[in-house]
């Protein structure tokens, strides 16, 4: 966030950001985003990946109500 907002970098998309990964899963309908798949999308979004980051954050936060997260659900342990 510092690189995008304070330093005004136009091409930042962080694999370590959970909201970005969730937004990508929701937009692209994947159960999980591997590092290789992430790099493919990052290359596609370059040189404006920072703008895409803002959209992925918004989608992950519920800005588009019709979208769902396709991540695999963890099974609860019964005791």
What pTM does this model have?
Answer: 0.83
Burial profile 40-65: b = 16 or more Cβ within 10 angstroms, e = fewer = ebbeebeeebbebbeebbebbeeeee
pLDDT in single tens digits along all 79 residues of the chain: 767 767 787 888 999 999 999 999 999 999 999 999 999 999 999 999 999 999 999 999 999 999 999 987 776 666 6
The rounded distance, in Å, linking the Cα atoms of 29 and 27 is 6
**Which spans in 2-72 are helix H?**
18-28, 35-45, 49-60
């Amino acid at each position: 966030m510092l690189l995008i907002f304070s330093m005004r970098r136009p091409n930042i998309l962080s694999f370590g950001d959970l909201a970005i990964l969730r937004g990508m899963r929701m937009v692209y309908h994947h159960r999980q985003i591997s590092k290789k798949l992430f790099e493919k999308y990052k290359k596609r979004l370059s040189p404006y990946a920072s703008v895409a980051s803002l959209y992925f954050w918004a989608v992950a936060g519920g800005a588009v109500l019709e979208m769902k997260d396709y991540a695999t659900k963890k099974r609860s342990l019964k005791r």
